[in-house]
Structure 1
Amino acid sequence: MTTHTPLRFVAVGDSFTEGVGDRDLRLPNDCRGWADRVAEELARHEAHTRYANLALRGRRLKQIIAEQLEPALDMAPTLVSFHAGGNDLLGARLDMRTLVAGFEEAVARIAQSGARILLFTEYNVPLSPVLEPLKLRTAVFNKHIRRISAAYRTLLVDHWCFEKYQDRRMWAPDRLHMSGVGHEYMAKRVLEVLGAAHSLGSPVLGTLPPRSRAEILADDAAWFSRDVAPWLSRRLRGVSSGDHLSARWPDLMPVVLPEQLGTSRELARL
């Protein structure tokens, strides 16, 4: 991707953009994610690239708009990635009309800044057959995202259509966030949408070994105890896993490349 001014990439959103599932203890919030990976590739081809990531896990659309949108626009970005609404879709009560209106209003505000906008459709995350009704919500929301993308002439990463994410190895054990492999592949697809040069390849995962019914049930039980029960508890208490965290890269800064990383203590001095 060629520009006449240094690229200023600001990532806005929730855990999808924060990088949850792509664990890296050397980095803020102990994760890396597709946005970091995209910024790294962009910086390798344009040394003056600057990057900020304001995304935080657990945030719903209203929180993202209230906490992240103005700080992002104050940085005069040339590229803004915007992902929001996934946590709203998981809620027991959902006003789809209000969600879509708020999403479109946010996109309109970003568009007024003159920045290129990168949107994403949601994926039908393979949580459990019990939660299959969420697929309908997601499909309806995605229909609106595609319409909004066309109306505001944004870039669109159509996650819903990526067949590779049908493989459970593309997902972290919590089944809600992408794994490191999933984040790397997402970075590749984002870079393709941007038309940017990169060195990322597609994952070669091989054939999944079959699992017995007993293995599937044991895995489901472990997932419920480890991930679902704590999540339900937080929902009932009105708290989020991101409540005590801060944005990973809150200010525009030179991109930290993996080869520059040492220990977490060394990173804190960057």
Structure 2
Amino acid sequence: MFRGEGRPAVHGYDSWVAIGDSFTEGMGDMAPDGSCVGWADRLAELMAVQRPGFQYANLAVRGKMLAEIIAEQVPLAEEAAPDLVSLCGGGNDIITPGTDPDDVAADFDAAVARLRAAGSEVVLFTGPDPKVQPLLRRVRGKVGIYNGHLHAIAERNGARLVDLWSMDALHDKRAWCEDRLHFSSDGHRRIALRTAEVLGVPVVDDWREPLPPEDPKPWLRLRQDDLTWTTTHLLPWVARQLRGESLGDGLTPKRPQLTPYAVDRTHHHVF
């Protein structure tokens, strides 16, 4: 069902440029053709349904460090000067050993100030609470420090903030995909709903809706799942870290130009 179909324009945005890394590219939320959907595309489709002519670009590429986002994507968003820019970055820096969240936050702050100076409204995202995931749990303290900076950055620059840490629905493992690094389709759907709420975009569904009870898995099955994850996802991730490689090497943005979002009513992914 298309939320907003047949209604007058109900939000105040004519254009949006989404910048960032795999979170905004949409990894973990896959379309039937194998492409990434993600919270941003889901929300953009809803906004386009509600406001004909709505323009959207998604410059995010998986694996990008904050310095790369600032060098490659922020200038394009500044030049386009859309009504709205979404910025989520620094997560790949935070999970890298030896990085200081204070330094990452200082760079992030400067980027937000640039985007605001260009005249765009900016929406930011805290990191989610990684306690539920074994790989990310080890950097929970760094994520918490970084999140504190993000709250201050949003207040200082007059930006909006989507607090992923406080979303109880994301504390459920079913909100995450098999790699335990990215969100599942339902996780992305709920984040899109939460972002719509922050931006004042009307929706029907509620991101707070509890997940149905889950049947507990036998201990042996859990250990088998852990082994599969270790060989399929953890070891390749460690190997890429050691080689200085990224999943995004050689990739280009999926929506590199600010163009009208064409709503496909036969293959839509609105909530």
| TM-score over 0.5 for the pair | yes
Distance 1:204 1:127 in 2: 19
Give 2:232's aligned residue: 226
Q: How does 1:1-270 map to 2 (within 5 A)?
A: 1-3=10-12, 7-26=14-33, 30-125=35-130, 126-128=132-134, 131-202=136-207, 205-259=211-265, 261=267
Secondary structure class of the residue paired with 1:80: strand
TM-score, normalised by the number of residues in structure 2: 0.90
145-154 or 249-258: bigger deviation: 249-258
AA of the residue aligned to 1:229: L
Q: Offset of 1:258 from its aligned partner? A: 4.2
Q: CA deviation at 1:199?
A: 3.8
CA distance in structure 1 between the aligned counterparts of 2:93 and 2:123, rounded to whole angstroms: 20
CA 2–132 in structure 1, closer or farther in 2 if over 3 Å, else same: closer
* Separation in structure 1 between the aligned mates of residue 235 and residue 264 of structure 2, nearest angstrom: 35
| Match of residue 6 from structure 2 | none
Quick one: which amino acid aligns to residue 32 of structure 1?
Answer: V
Confirm or deny: 8 A CA contact 2:27 2:36 kept in the other structure.
yes
3-state SS of the aligned residue for 1:42?
helix
Opposite residue 165 of structure 1, the aligned amino acid is: L
Q: Deviations over 1:235-262 (max 9, x none)?
A: 1111111112110100011213242559
Cα separation, 1, equivalents of 2:257 and 2:204: 26
Question: Using a 3 Å threshold, how does the CA distance of structure 1 residues 227 and 256 change in structure 2: closer, same or farther?
Answer: farther
- Could you tell me whether the CA contact under 8 Å between 1:61 and 1:85 is conserved in 2? yes
Please, what is the CA RMSD of the aligned residues? 1.7
Would the aligned equivalents of 1:11 and 1:17 in 2 still touch at CA under 8 Å?
yes
Query: 2 CA distance for matches of 1:131 and 1:121?
Result: 15
Runs of 4+ more than 6 Å apart: none
Identity of aligned residues (%): 37
Q: Secondary structure at the match of 1:141?
A: helix
Cα distance, 1:100 vs structure 2: 1.1
TM-score by length of 1: 0.90
Measure, in 1, the Cα distance between the counterparts of 2:266 and 2:77: 26
Question: Matches of 1:230 and 1:42 in 2, distance apart?
Answer: 37
Unpaired segments ≥5 residues, structure 1: 263-270
Distance in structure 1 (CA, Å) of the matches to 2:50 and 2:234: 41
Q: What is the alpha-carbon distance in structure 2 between the residues aligned to residue 74 and residue 200 of structure 1? A: 35
Deviations 1:34-66 (A, max 9, x none): 000111111111002100000010001001101
Q: Which amino acid aligns with 1:140?
A: I
Q: Distance in 1 between matches of 2:230 and 2:66?
A: 26
Q: For residue 152 of structure 2, give the secondary structure of its aligned residue in structure 1.
A: helix
> In the alignment, what sits opposite 1:266?
none
Cα deviation code 1:150-197 (max 9, x no counterpart): 111111100000001111111100111110111111100000000112
Q: Does structure 2 conserve the Cα–Cα contact (< 8 Å) formed by 1:14 and 1:83? A: yes
Greater shift in the superposed pair: 93-102 or 186-195: 93-102
Q: How big is the shift at 1:200?
A: 3.8
